[in-house]
Amino acid sequence: MIARRAQEIPPFLVMDVLERAQELERQGADVIHLEVGEPDFDVPDCVREAACAALCTGYTHYTHSLGDAELREAICAHYARTYGVEVSPAQVVVTSGTSPAMLLLFGALLDAGDEVILSDPGYACYPNFVRFVDGVPAYVPVYEEDGFQYRPEIIAERLGPCSKAILINSPSNPTGNLLSLERMRALAQLPPFIVSDEIYHGLVYEGQEHSILEVSERAFVLNGFSKLYAMTGLRLGYVIAPHEFVRPIQKLQQNLFICPNSAVQRAGIAALESAGEDVARMKHTYNQRRRFMIGRLRELGFGLTVEPTGAFYVFCNASHLSTDSLALAFDILEKAHVGVTPGIDFGPQGEGYLRFSYANSLHKIAEGLDRLEDYLCRYHGHQAASGGEDR
């Protein structure tokens, strides 16, 4: 008999879209991918060279279960340099990606029935990690007119005796919006722990991202190297935890994963210390794509009350086309050969929206949105407004 947790876990719908797109590509279709949140850049040269050098010089054995000591020091130096906060290397647990970090964190934090406050819409996998360790997702709606930011007063009303943590993600997936420092401070004053997913930090084009560690010590940070350094396939992340949680997280790591990849950890050091120019170049390119996509989507009639300023996503209101975002996304894929992510993947409040990723070349983005315009004209009787900016 298949275990309940495996039977009940929902699919990650963006992967269903991607896998259907790949089927179409095997049949000869040319698909434009605006669905997946993966940088289209190769890793910086310094990262590649460090990984190769590590393999050649014997970094092929287990490391400490907390991670390479030099990498943990480099992470602390990064947080001091970027946010002005002091973190001890003893608070850092390096993991094989941010997803394992999340599993370890929730495994150490949650007992059965403990609640984690999650935004709706929010990253699709968060509730599944919470449920996997018998925690309970507790959803709080966030609204387009607020830029999908939490309203601390609504969270305060939602808290109960089982409320153990509040999860924040700024810049956010799927919305690309930032949580203001004022709202972050207000959340930090509430009783639960704060879990801050900071994986898109560094990819901010207007305004300034803030680490939760600037306003609270009763907090956990999830972060990694996949997005900022285009290291998705190298699988390297980390959790920064209050001191009392480090040993419990470490014991889970020892049993479940032993340690992260030793050579990749050396590449992580190079990323933190030497990849600044590469990051600046990628960030400049992302911002060009962001401005183009925002202008073009608005020209096509999609709703966008607050412009996204971080990550590499635009979360658009498409309710004028359909209130079934999954069916709409697959219809666009089948008829226009453009992959987009249905808003329902991110929660009930995401229904009626589509997420577009600009982690693709400007040429591909332009072609994909031209195909989308043709699709709208053919199947929805849509006429794009003339004279849209950034066309």
Mean pLDDT of all residues in 49-69: 97
**Measuring CA to CA, which residue among 110, 281, 72 is closest to residue 192?**
110
pLDDT at 326 over 80: yes
pLDDT at 391 over 50: no
pLDDT at 386 over 60: no
pLDDT at 300 over 60: yes
Name which of 312-321, 357-366, 382-391 the model is least confident about.
382-391
* Domains of the chain and any CATH numbers: 4-42+277-380 (3.90.1150.10), 45-274 (3.40.640.10)
pLDDT at 382 over 80: no
pLDDT at 389 over 90: no
pLDDT at 385 over 90: no
Residue 379: the pLDDT is: 87
pLDDT at 11 over 90: no
| Tens-place pLDDT, residues 333-345 | 999 999 999 999 9
| pLDDT confidence bin for 383, thresholds 50/70/90 | low
pLDDT at 308 over 90: yes
Residue 309: the pLDDT is: 97
Backbone angles phi, psi at 155, to 5 degrees: -65, -45
pLDDT at 213 over 60: yes
d(Cα 92, Cα 260) in Å, to the nearest integer?
13
**Measuring CA to CA, which residue among 162, 167, 184 is closest to residue 125?**
167
Residue 387: the pLDDT is: 40
Question: Would you call 5 helix, strand, or coil by DSSP?
Answer: helix
Sheet holding 193-197, edge to edge: 92-95, 237-240, 219-224, 193-197, 163-169, 115-120, 136-141
pLDDT at 388 over 50: no
d(Cα 76, Cα 342) in Å, to the nearest integer?
37
Residue 381: the pLDDT is: 79
DSSP line for 90-126: GGEEEESSHHHHHHHHHHHH--TT-EEEEEES--TTH
As a whole number, the mean pLDDT across the chain is: 95
Asked whether the whole model's pTM tops 0.75, one would answer: yes
pLDDT at 172 over 80: yes
